[in-house]
Amino acid sequence: MYRLDRRQLLGSSAIALLLGSETARAAIVKGGLPWKPGSGDPPAAVTPGGWRYFTAQEAATVEAFVDRLIPADVLTPGGKELGCAVFIDRQLAGPYGRFEGHYMTGPFQQGTKQQGPQSPVTPAQHYRQALATLDAACRSKFGGKVFADLSDDQKDETIKGLEDGSLKLGGTDGREFFKLILKDTQNGFLADPIYGGNKDMASWKMIGFPGAHYDYRNWIDRHNQRVALPPVGINNHPDWSQ
């Protein structure tokens, strides 16, 4: 008996769907495509001014936090100046913050690391809860001071407590919040400036990443050579705020 394997089945299904359209059939006959190249939605550039998700207090805490995760040095400015908090704010105000595209209907249970998030709490909700409990923990430990008002040593002590689990946040997993804000800060540091972080493409300049150049054909055969091109962002501008 002839058996159709999965690859053949997927291929035949795709062809059937494609040929099911008169427009598609006509385009194929003419040697063209049944869609317009380059017609996808481009990324929306972040605009400066005001917080989209964070309250003023939450923003102050996040700015202070990212500035300790990425402190200023001779290579780059700190996380705050680079716009990492702005990047996180805009992400939380958008689809990422709502976990758009994720299955968000229960039941929910603790899964394995490989299964990814198994929680009804969205990233935006996670930040809101964790930032409030973080400031409450700091007030209790440091004589009424919130995280943003701590000394750098106290901030580092607090962040280390989140990372190793020794600092408990009421109702929130501090270690999971540390992982979340660290990942988001790293993304803001390295992402295209169009999304609000990596101001002046500082991280790309530091690591020698040329960015979104259209054509690299002149470099294809130059193996093990540093690409000597200035970095270019998606919008061909080094600074999203200008």
Are the beta carbons of 82 and 197 closer than 8 angstroms?
yes
Give me the DSSP letters along the chain. -----HHHHHHHHHHHHHHTSHHHHHHHHTT--SS-TT-SPPPPPP--SS-SS--HHHHHHHHHHHHHHS---SSS--TTTTTHHHHHHHHHTSHHHHTTTS---S------GGG----S--HHHHHHHHHHHHHHHHHHHTTT--GGGS-HHHHHHHHHHHHHT-S-BTTB-HHHHHHHHHHHHHHHHHS-GGGS-SGGGHHHHHHT--BS-S--GGGTT-TT-------B-TTS-S-TT-
| Predicted pLDDT of residue 119 | 78
What mean pLDDT comes out for the span 211-231? 87
Tokens of 219: 């470099």
Q: Is the pLDDT higher at 36 or at 183?
A: 183
Tell me the pLDDT of the chain averaged across its residues.
Answer: 83
The percentage of the chain sitting over the pLDDT mark of 90, rounded to a whole number, equals: 57
Tokens of 75: 């290579």
Domain boundaries, the chain: 10-38, 56-100+117-205
Could you report the per-residue pLDDT of 33-84, keeping only the tens digit for each? 555 666 666 677 887 789 999 999 999 999 999 999 999 999 999 999 999 9
CA-CA distance, 102 to 80, in Å (whole number)? 30
Band of residue 7 on the pLDDT scale cut at 50, 70, 90: very low
The percentage of the chain sitting over the pLDDT mark of 70, rounded to a whole number, equals: 80
Give me the DSSP letters along 140-194. HHTTT--GGGS-HHHHHHHHHHHHHT-S-BTTB-HHHHHHHHHHHHHHHHHS-GG
Could you report the per-residue pLDDT of 191-219, keeping only the tens digit for each? 999 999 999 999 999 999 999 888 888 88
Band of residue 9 on the pLDDT scale cut at 50, 70, 90: very low
| Predicted pLDDT of residue 2 | 45
pLDDT surpassing 80 at residue 19: no
With 0.85 as the threshold, say if the pTM is over it: no
Residues with Cβ within 8 Å of 234's Cβ and at least 6 positions away in sequence, in order, are: 42, 43, 192, 194, 212
What mean pLDDT comes out for the span 228-233? 89
Could you report the per-residue pLDDT of 85-119, keeping only the tens digit for each? 999 999 999 999 998 877 777 777 777 878 777 77
| Least reliable range by pLDDT among 141-150, 189-198, 221-230, 233-242 | 233-242
What mean pLDDT comes out for the span 187-194? 96
Q: Is the pLDDT higher at 172 or at 16?
A: 172
